[in-house]
Structure 1
Amino acid sequence: MSRPHDARRRRRTAIAAAVLAVLATVVAGIELRVVGDLLERDGLAAFYTQPADALDGAPGSLVKSEPLLGVPMDARAWRIMYRSTDLDGDPVVSTGVAVVPLGPPPDEGRTVVSWGHPTTGSASECAPSLGLDPYIGIEGMRVLLDRGYAVVATDYTGMGTAGPDSYLIGATEGQNVLDAVRAASEIPDAETGSDVILWGHSQGGQAVLFAAERAAAYAPELDIRAVAAAAPAADLKALLQTHLDDVSGVTIGSYALTAYSEIYADRGADLADILTPQALAAQPQMNELCLLTHIDQLHDIADPLVGAFVTSDPATTEPWATLLEENSAGGTAFDAPLLVLQGLDDQLVKPADTEKYVASAEAMGMDVTYRTVSIATHGTIAYLGLIDLVEFLDRVGV
């Protein structure tokens, strides 16, 4: 007689085969869509320039959109600029992309996956939608499109187009994630519905957790059916303390502490009070560089600052300690089922820190599924966890 774990193993094998087959189409599709992407480069600056009425409208309303030429196979896509709000409720503008599969939607409209991307930088030029291939960083996009979902991916406020810095500002990022869903609903041909899946990685994991925590009050018309976070930056104190004396800590700290000094200046967040003089001098240049495209330059600047970056531990020094705590996920429970993925070889977001977040969420009565992947690093967990993501979505019935 077949045992339950044998059936589960067979099911996972079937899912793995399906996922790998889907991923195999990505390489062929990239060549085709890059041709279209190249044709679109000339009009980028004009699109990302905000019109005079950019802030005049409800959160989630479109400022503008344009269809894209270079698109994933069997899909349509648009570049979008839309309205959102920051942590104080003030109007801001964000940009991103929306992608939908070809073919008719369900009667109730397509379920929308709102993707929160991992760290790419904090400068405007680091926005994923500005890249030559604006979809390549949407982890699992092909699998999601083939399930019939629409996918929308925010850049976060302050990237792509003018706006306040939002790096690791949980409320702003979370509201950007939710308003991206509303913006997609204003594209008639996207034909989206009110069912939503939130999916994010690293910084984007923090963003979608904040989106889930705030959704009931901020966007009650959206039905958050499931939330999935890969190696989320859930505990910012632990993240910075772990990497206080390495290159990752200098890079993340440069992005984050600069953002906090701008957003929380009225609460006494002054970079001169937490950074060494040499680190303070390096901030302007570091914050102009994007993580993925300028990694060597970032390391050249960061290496001499290792061990000489901060004057004290931000996780124990005010107002930084309180600000990091406020921007750590887990302050509010939410009803949607949650999947948390963690690579056991992750050297950035440590498994022990993710396990603490999971335990805290479970203690609040949340429906949490925690899955680990033994060989996954921080950079690979969202891809290597796709089997678990598909299995989770099937199980919760989305």
Structure 2
Amino acid sequence: MVGTCLAAPSAFADDAAGAPGDVVEVAPLPSALWIPGAADAQRITYWSIGPDGDPALSTGAMYVPPGEAPDGGWPVVAWAHGTSGLADHCAPSLVGPGLPERDYPYLGRWLEQGYAIVSTDYVGLGTPGVMPYLDGKVEAHSVVDSVKAARAVDESLSNKWVVVGQSQGGGAAVITGRYATEYGGKSLDYRGAVGTGVPANIELALLPLGPGVPPTAIPAGLTSYLFYILAGLRSAHPEIGLDAYLTPLGAQYVDAAEQLCVHEMHEAAEGVIVGDLFSKPLNEIPNFYPLLVDYMGVPTSGYDRPLFIGQGLTDIDVPAPSAFSLVAALTANGEPVTFKTYPTDHSGTLIESQADTIPFVRDLFAG
């Protein structure tokens, strides 16, 4: 595998923009951040597309299984990670996943199947700008372009690939599934997507928010996700003037969302009353709902490859009705979706679903 630096990290912001998937830098990944069983691991910096449609930098990591690659190269699983935070120091390729005790064994099982793993941090996380949290099209570009970049770094990787994701990454995986063929072009052979704990129709939950709504505290996890959504939205769409709709307390928490990683954000959000954050109803923002749908809506049509969605019935981070409504719309539109539920919570679904997703992915590559 190539380990040559193609550009200095300090030069990122000044580099001439490249095409999506062009590699800027390759560096060895510290061994503490390796997926168990990996034969090699690298951190990559590459060009992708930002929320304004212009070139933007993303980082990520790539892991290769042991042994000799099969004919055609190692099939690729692109991993879309869950919420880790918005600040650069929260990037998984720098500090590892938010839940290493869960994610490393999970990813190790994919590696054991003979897949190379490519994991994007997403545009803005570890690179200039604020990560546009839950901006599905930006996440999809980040995922697709990470596969392009990884194949440019290591010729042992196949052009055949799937995307797998959980939570924020579950939504990213599903939306990537909608755009993967378009964004990947002829150089990649996209086969399908797996999303667990998929946040869908979340934009509907934002519409009623305003002074006193809701009037009581909600689970801290959901509140912290809201802070990340507002921070990402404020950065990606400065034209809406979001700060004018926030109280000083609200602005304080949205500012904090740009700096705190997920566990610290959850702690800070404990007991916060969301209705105290707003000075005006968010639905007074002009064209707010269409903007939200474009920013974070999960498409319900246009999928050209199979899609697996897994949902925990006791999930309180992404409650089951979110997935039920998405799958109902996909099914009504005749989309190629497989849906499974699990009698467990958010993280439990990721783990339990592998009994179904490993054979699902195996069939995708065999097809």
Q: TM-score, normalised by structure 2?
A: 0.86
Q: Which residue of 2 aligns with 1:65?
A: 26
Q: Distance in 2 between matches of 1:242 and 1:204?
A: 25
CA separation of 1:359/1:297 partners in 2, compared to 1, >3 Å: closer, same or farther?
closer
Q: Distance in 2 between matches of 1:133 and 1:234?
A: 22
Instruction: Indicate the RMSD between aligned Cα atoms, in angstroms.
Output: 2.6
Q: Which residue of 1 aligns with 2:4?
A: none
CA separation of 1:314/1:174 partners in 2, compared to 1, >3 Å: closer, same or farther?
farther
Q: Which residue of 2 aligns with 1:165?
A: 131
Determine whether 1:92 maps to 2:56.
Answer: yes
Q: Which moved more, 1:94-103 or 1:213-222?
A: 213-222
Q: TM-score, normalised by structure 1?
A: 0.79
Pairwise CA distance, 1:101: 0.2
Pairwise CA distance, 1:88: 3.5
The structure that has the greater radius of gyration is 1
Aligned AA for 1:348?
D
Query: Which of 284, 299, 314 is the aligned partner of 2:255?
Result: 284
Gaps of 5+ in 2: 1-6
Cα distance per residue 1:15-41 (max 9 Å; x no partner): xxxxxxxxxxxxxxxxxxxxxxxxxxx
Q: Distance in 1 between matches of 2:163 and 2:148?
A: 13
Verify the 8 A CA contact 2:303 2:335 in the aligned structure 1: yes
Q: Which moved more, 1:91-100 or 1:251-260?
A: 251-260
Verify the 8 A CA contact 1:168 1:256 in the aligned structure 2: yes
CA separation of 1:315/1:106 partners in 2, compared to 1, >3 Å: closer, same or farther?
farther
Verify the 8 A CA contact 2:79 2:164 in the aligned structure 1: yes
Gaps of 5+ in 1: 1-45
Cα distance per residue 1:280-328 (max 9 Å; x no partner): 2332233311013x256423xx524343123466468544322222221
Verify the 8 A CA contact 1:55 1:83 in the aligned structure 2: no
Cα distance per residue 1:208-259 (max 9 Å; x no partner): 2222222222212222212000011122224547995523343112111121
Aligned AA for 1:364?
N
Q: Which residue of 1 aligns with 2:238?
A: 265
Query: Which of 305, 324, 333 is the aligned partner of 1:355?
Result: 324
Cα distance per residue 1:115-143 (max 9 Å; x no partner): 11111111111111111579934572111
Verify the 8 A CA contact 2:47 2:55 in the aligned structure 1: yes
Determine whether 1:328 maps to 2:300.
Answer: no
Pairing 1:1-398 to 2, within 5 Å after superposition? 48-51=9-12, 54-70=15-31, 71=34, 72-131=36-95, 136=100, 137=103, 140-188=106-154, 191-221=156-186, 222-238=188-204, 240=206, 245-246=217-218, 247-266=220-239, 268-273=240-245, 275-292=246-263, 294-295=264-265, 297-299=267-269, 302-311=270-279, 314=282, 318-326=286-294, 327-374=296-343, 376-398=344-366
Pairwise CA distance, 1:74: 4.5
